[in-house]
Amino acid sequence: MTATLASVSTEIAADASTSARPAVLSRAQASLPGGRRATVIGAGSFGTAIAVLLARAGVRTTLQTRTEQQAAELAESRINEKYLPGVELPSQLRIEPVSSGVSRADYVFLAVPSTSLAEAIAALENAGLGRRSAVVSLSKGLVPPDGAAPTTALRARFGAHRVACIGGPAHAQEMVHAGAGLVAAAFDEGLAEGLAAIFNRAGVVCELANDPVGVELAGVAKNAAALAAGATEAQGLNAAGAAAGHIFAEAWRLAEAAGARPESFIGLAGAGDLVATALAPMSRNRRAGELLAQGVPAAEIQQTVSQAVEALQSVPLLAHSIERAGLPAPVTGGLARLIDGELPLAEWVALVRATVPPRARWRRSRGFWQRLRERLTRWRRDAPPEL
């Protein structure tokens, strides 16, 4: 992962030059609702909600399911009762199995778990993906085995100028009824603007960001923090808050090492998404933490929750990535061992309560003689020639 982090930092700097490249879709195209096609791969709660928003925005949208049977059921009922109950699918939203391909899509949204992203990338290349089509990750996890951010894996295959991700507080049910606070992050400014324009047209506030890796790591951190808080809440709110705070800080140090921007963790994609997840009555990641605290093995939690719990897979990857980068990760590492059944709950809580964050880096005040030398240097530099 050290090599991965180094390459990410280099690519972030290099990608500053991509603004000179033509956007995947021009801004003129972005303003024409009927001029684009989008395919959403994955008909879970978030994928279905995104497909609904895209259709409402006037984008010709296709929602692709894993199987032909699932596609037929959704096309007939026009409601995804299992994952997004009570939300009628727009009549203009096309439903088909993933085997239908993506040859006509301008935007391809990947609403698949991060653990399946490598498989999805390989499938895209055989599904007729256009050379100018944008690929947008909706995942809030990490890609095994190295714990790479999804856009890092996508960028390696498709190029930075075609890759983006969506973050922010976006509970699926609320998003389709009352809106959300999304973040569209891309290396290419035109691509980010095009995505934001689509979601704004659908009635959803969408922030622009030029820090995809930071936005993704913020999403990973909020899921891990929610799970940590859920696993600790019964032991006290202070312990739960400390667990979430330690996780967030440890993940941020990894993001900082990768060249991410602090506002990605402070704003909608990080703190905003964490609050939404922590307050959600049926938050999957917080519920998973509560079940861990009750002694339910991680392998059984997925079936109990009935939906993907990204943090169960991403926390061990996150801990490994932080440690491989040479950074301290005592609480994230402890949470990974709790998930794996290697750390008893009592020891996990004791670890949270006893962990002291790394020492702050103090700013040393400048002495009198140093300030005087600096003033003399400035005076000589700015003095008129005749002096």
Homologous superfamily of 215-354:
N-(1-d-carboxylethyl)-l-norvaline Dehydrogenase; domain 2 (1.10.1040.10)
**What pLDDT, on the 0 to 100 scale, is given for residue 383?**
64
Positions annotated as catalytic residues are 222
Please write down the long-range contacts of 14-18, taking CB distance under 8 Å and 24 or more positions apart: 15/160, 15/187, 18/160, 18/161, 18/187, 18/188
Distance CA 48, CA 248 (A): 29
Q: Return the number of other C-beta atoms located less than 10 Å from residue 210's C-beta.
A: 19
Check: CATH 3.40.50.720 for 2-210?
Answer: yes
Distance CA 71, CA 65 (A): 6
3-state percent breakdown (helix, strand, coil) of the chain, nearest 5: 60, 10, 30
**What pLDDT, on the 0 to 100 scale, is given for residue 365?**
63
Residue-averaged pLDDT of the chain: 89
Phi and psi torsions of 141, nearest 5°:
-140, -170
Query: Are 57 and 33 contacting, i.e. CB atoms less than 8 angstroms apart?
Result: yes
CA distances to 153, 212, 303, 345, 346 from 293, in Å: 33, 33, 17, 6, 9
Distance CA 12, CA 322 (A): 19
**What pLDDT, on the 0 to 100 scale, is given for residue 3?**
44
CA distances to 171, 349, 364 from 361, in Å: 37, 28, 9
- pLDDT tens for each residue of 253-293: 999 999 999 999 999 999 999 999 988 877 899 999 999 99
Distance CA 58, CA 183 (A): 20
* Domain limits, the chain: 2-210, 215-354
Lookup result for tokens 């339910």:
296
- Ramachandran region of residue 124, left (φ > 0), alpha (ψ -120 to 50) or beta? alpha
**What pLDDT, on the 0 to 100 scale, is given for residue 213?**
96
Tens of each residue's pLDDT in the chain, 387 residues? 444 444 444 444 444 444 444 445 544 344 444 458 999 999 999 999 999 999 999 999 999 999 999 999 999 999 999 999 999 999 999 999 999 999 999 999 999 999 999 999 999 989 999 999 999 999 999 999 999 999 999 999 999 999 999 999 999 999 999 999 999 999 999 999 999 999 999 999 999 999 999 999 999 999 999 999 999 999 999 999 999 999 999 999 999 999 999 999 999 999 999 999 988 877 899 999 999 999 999 999 988 887 788 999 999 999 999 999 999 999 999 999 999 999 999 999 999 999 999 888 766 666 777 777 878 877 776 666 554
**What pLDDT, on the 0 to 100 scale, is given for residue 28?**
38
Query: Are 290 and 231 contacting, i.e. CB atoms less than 8 angstroms apart?
Result: yes
**What pLDDT, on the 0 to 100 scale, is given for residue 24?**
55
**What pLDDT, on the 0 to 100 scale, is given for residue 21?**
46
**What pLDDT, on the 0 to 100 scale, is given for residue 165?**
98
**What pLDDT, on the 0 to 100 scale, is given for residue 25?**
54
**What pLDDT, on the 0 to 100 scale, is given for residue 375?**
80
β partners of residue 94: 62
| Residue 360 CA, distance from chain mean position | 28
Question: ∠ CA 341-347-351 to the nearest 5 degrees?
Answer: 115
Q: Two tokens at 275? A: 């609050």
Query: Are 194 and 29 contacting, i.e. CB atoms less than 8 angstroms apart?
Result: yes
